[in-house]
């Protein structure tokens, strides 16, 4: 066989082995179903419930996958939003640095006001998101104003001013949201930088005001679902903008809730929490906007995220439960049917092996027992004894008292035999009309004679036993004998020897036990 033939033969052999194993397993299941049908029902129920459990575990994993996907989407949205804010803040900072550089340049400051204004604010004024550009002196007074003539105003109380007055290294500072005094209380935040005099002392600030509407229009473009939310907060918890906007809120609110604290303590993350505003459970995903003091967050509502998952889960879960319930019902109906069939088969087998009148084994069963015990005796060398029991004058008994009494007498005899043959290996059968045969494995002739005599005495007096309905007296004749390896050459010869003993008991006057002649003596005859 070539290499290619071997390569083809190996999978085929593996498939054959797999089929053989499956056949073995199927055979074992079939045997289990035949012997323990209710166990098959229980096993089928466990398998069905396991399948349902696996379905629900899969659905639970699908729920988490849906939430994870929503978090990934939120992170992408935050990334786009952050890039937009970061880019515009960088442009604003470039403009702001140009203003501060101009304020420090004596040549520019000596120019005519119109020309100086144009040089200082031309670049900043062209940005659409900038509401106003101003310059303040060291006392907080407005000395330059990008929108025109400087208004008479002092802004020394603003955080974007006194931070630079107190800290030379503040750099670019992003203020808290505020309502502008210069622009009709417009909601704004300010970006400011320190202006130093020639000697390095504080000489004021340059400040750019950015309308809060810029952030609001960024958030309003987001699709956060019917119950979701998106917002931008400052790193001190001050809400800058939110969609949907908070109702009845005219002031900028600083939040100290657990949700906000978690955002303020981390650079980025995702978590599930109940909103303190409306009690809606949301999946919060947040990240700090690089180069700013702002945090962007997107929080779709859990119910919006899971609406499709719930619809699919209801369909899949209901289908799994229906299929599982149907399977369980069918498997138990089958199990009960198999149980009833097994019980019926057992009854039929019992009826086929049992004498209907006495309840003892019948002739067919007796033949199997005799053959089995004879073969065991030949293998082990242990003796086996047999009793032939015949009711004396039973035909006359029937004629005298009727068949009903005769049947009752046979039942009483069968009960007596069963009481005396109680060992697990002992067996007794109805051999003919009024004949019975008892098989006593591992019993010698002396033991068999003792049992036979006990049976004879009980039957002799059973008609007068207390508490038992009396029947006319009867007696039995019993022939008994034991087979050994050194004795009978065949089972038939052994049976003939016991039958001869029974006839000897009848010839001797009945109602007695006679032991069979030894096998050697019969052989000599």
Answer yes or no: is 119 within a domain: yes
DSSP conformation class of 265:
T
505 with 389, same domain: the answer is yes
**Domain end (from 193, 214, 235):** 214
Residue 145, domain CATH: 3.30.450.20
pLDDT for 498 equals 92
Query: Average pLDDT, stretch 145-151?
Result: 76
pLDDT digits (tens, 9 = 90+) for 295-328: 999 999 999 999 999 999 999 999 989 998 998 8
Answer yes or no: is 323 within a domain: no
Answer yes or no: is 345 within a domain: no
CA distance 366 to 309: 70
Both tokens assigned to 502: 């029974």
CA distance 314 to 468: 70
**Domain end (from 214, 249, 279):** 214
Is the CB of residue 144 less than 8 Å from the CB of residue 135? Answer: yes
pLDDT for 523 equals 42
pLDDT for 116 equals 75
pLDDT for 525 equals 40
pLDDT digits (tens, 9 = 90+) for 473-493: 889 999 999 998 878 788 899
Is the CB of residue 232 less than 8 Å from the CB of residue 295? Answer: yes
Domain that holds residue 282: 222-305
362 with 492, same domain: the answer is yes
413 with 507, same domain: the answer is yes
462 with 370, same domain: the answer is yes
- List residues bridging with 295 in a β-sheet: 233, 288
Among 138, 142, 202, 212, smallest CA distance to 170 is for 202
Answer yes or no: is 93 within a domain: no
Answer yes or no: is 453 within a domain: yes
pLDDT digits (tens, 9 = 90+) for 351-384: 777 888 888 888 888 999 999 999 999 998 889 9
Place of tokens 């290996």: 425
370 with 432, same domain: the answer is yes
252 with 369, same domain: the answer is no
Answer yes or no: is 507 within a domain: yes
384 with 503, same domain: the answer is yes
Q: At what angle do helices 403-420 and 445-461 cross, to 10 degrees?
A: 140
Query: What totals of helices (H) and strands (E) does the chain contain, helices first?
Result: 15, 16
209 with 229, same domain: the answer is no
196 with 233, same domain: the answer is no
Place of tokens 């079939």: 30
Phi, psi of 393 (to 5 degrees): 50, 45
Answer yes or no: is 42 within a domain: no
Answer yes or no: is 56 within a domain: no
Which residue among 434, 442, 445, 492 is the active-site one?
A: 434
CA distance 55 to 59: 6
Taking 60 as the threshold, does the pLDDT of residue 441 lie above it?
A: yes
DSSP for 28-39? HHHHHHHH-HHH
Residue 494, domain CATH: 3.30.70.270
DSSP conformation class of 277:
T
Is the CB of residue 244 less than 8 Å from the CB of residue 181? Answer: no
The band of 153, judged by pLDDT with boundaries at 50, 70 and 90, is confident
More confident residue, 495 or 40: 495
210 with 273, same domain: the answer is no
Mean pLDDT of the chain: 84
Taking 60 as the threshold, does the pLDDT of residue 397 lie above it?
A: yes
Phi, psi of 22 (to 5 degrees): -60, -40
Q: Note if the bond before 117 is cis, omega within 30 degrees.
A: no
490 with 378, same domain: the answer is yes
pLDDT digits (tens, 9 = 90+) for 486-519: 787 888 999 999 999 999 999 999 999 999 988 7
Instruction: Determine the longest span between alpha carbons in the chain, in angstroms.
Output: 162
Among 423, 322, 397, 406, smallest CA distance to 358 is for 406
Q: Coil, helix or strand for 235? A: coil
Query: Has 114 been annotated as catalytic?
Result: no
In percent, the amount of the chain with pLDDT more than 70 equals: 88
236 with 203, same domain: the answer is no
DSSP conformation class of 523:
H
Q: Coil, helix or strand for 186? A: coil
Q: What angle do CA 70, 74, 75 make, to 5 degrees?
A: 120
Task: Report the range of poorest mean pLDDT among 7-16, 163-172, 427-436.
Answer: 7-16
Is the CB of residue 435 less than 8 Å from the CB of residue 390? Answer: yes
CA distance 292 to 23: 71
The number of distinct structural domains making up the chain is: 3
Residue 154 Rama label (left phi>0; alpha psi -120 to 50; beta) = beta
Task: Report the range of poorest mean pLDDT among 34-38, 433-437, 512-516, 519-523.
Answer: 519-523
**Burial profile 445-483: b = 16 or more Cβ within 10 angstroms, e = fewer:** beebbebbeebbebbeebeeeeeeeebeebebbbbbbbb
Q: Coil, helix or strand for 406? A: helix
């Amino acid at each position: 066989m070539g290499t290619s033939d071997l390569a083809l033969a190996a999978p085929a052999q593996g498939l054959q082995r797999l089929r053989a194993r499956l056949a073995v397993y199927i055979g074992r299941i079939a045997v289990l179903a035949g012997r323990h049908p209710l166990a098959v029902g229980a096993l089928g129920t466990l398998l069905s419930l396991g399948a349902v459990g696996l379905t629900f575990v899969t659905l639970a994993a699908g729920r988490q996958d849906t939430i994870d996907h929503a978090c990934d989407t939120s992170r992408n949205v935050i990334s786009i939003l952050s890039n937009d804010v970061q880019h515009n803040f960088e442009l604003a900072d470039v403009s702001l640095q140009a203003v501060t550089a101009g304020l420090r340049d004596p040549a520019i400051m000596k120019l005519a006001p119109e020309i100086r204004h144009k040089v200082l604010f031309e670049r900043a004024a062209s940005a659409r998101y900038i509401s106003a550009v101003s310059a303040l002196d060291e006392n907080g007074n407005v000395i330059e104003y990008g929108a025109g003539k400087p208004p008479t105003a002092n802004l020394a109380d603003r955080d974007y001013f006194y931070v630079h007055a107190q800290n030379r290294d503040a750099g670019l500072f992003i203020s808290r949201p505020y309502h502008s005094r210069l622009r009709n209380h417009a909601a704004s935040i300010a970006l400011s930088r320190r202006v130093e005099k020639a000697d390095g002392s504080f000489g004021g600030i340059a400040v750019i005001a950015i309308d809060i509407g810029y952030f609001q229009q960024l958030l309003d473009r987001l699709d956060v679902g019917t119950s979701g939310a998106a917002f931008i907060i400052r790193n001190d918890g001050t809400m800058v903008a939110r969609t949907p906007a908070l109702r009845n809120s005219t002031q900028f609110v600083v939040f100290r809730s657990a949700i906000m604290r978690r955002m303020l303590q981390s650079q980025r993350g995702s978590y599930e929490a109940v909103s303190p505003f409306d009690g809606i459970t949301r999946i919060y995903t947040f990240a700090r906007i690089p180069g700013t003091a702002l945090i962007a967050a997107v929080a779709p509502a859990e119910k919006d995220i899971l609406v499709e998952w719930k619809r699919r889960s209801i369909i899949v879960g209901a289908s799994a439960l229906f299929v599982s319930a149907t399977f369980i019902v069918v498997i138990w109906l089958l199990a009960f049917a198999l149980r009833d069939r097994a019980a019926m088969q057992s009854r039929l087998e019992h009826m086929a092996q049992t004498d209907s009148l006495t309840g003892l084994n019948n002739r067919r069963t007796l033949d199997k027992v005799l053959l089995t015990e004879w073969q065991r005796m030949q293998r082990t060398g242990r003796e086996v004894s047999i009793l032939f029991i015949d009711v004396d004058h039973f035909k006359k008994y029937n004629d005298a008292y009727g068949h009903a009494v005769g049947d009752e007498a046979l039942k009483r005899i069968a009960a007596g035999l069963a009481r005396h043959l109680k060992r697990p290996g002992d067996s007794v059968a109805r051999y003919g009309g009024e004949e019975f045969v008892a098989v006593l494995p591992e019993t010698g002739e002396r033991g068999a004679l003792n049992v036979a005599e006990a049976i004879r005495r009980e039957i002799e007096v059973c008609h007068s036993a207390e508490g038992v309905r009396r029947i006319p007296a009867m007696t039995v004749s019993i022939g008994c004998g034991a087979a050994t390896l050194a004795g009978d050459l065949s089972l038939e010869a052994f049976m003939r020897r016991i039958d001869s003993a029974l006839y000897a008991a009848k010839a001797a006057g009945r109602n007695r036990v006679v032991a069979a002649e030894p096998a050697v003596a019969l052989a000599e005859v």
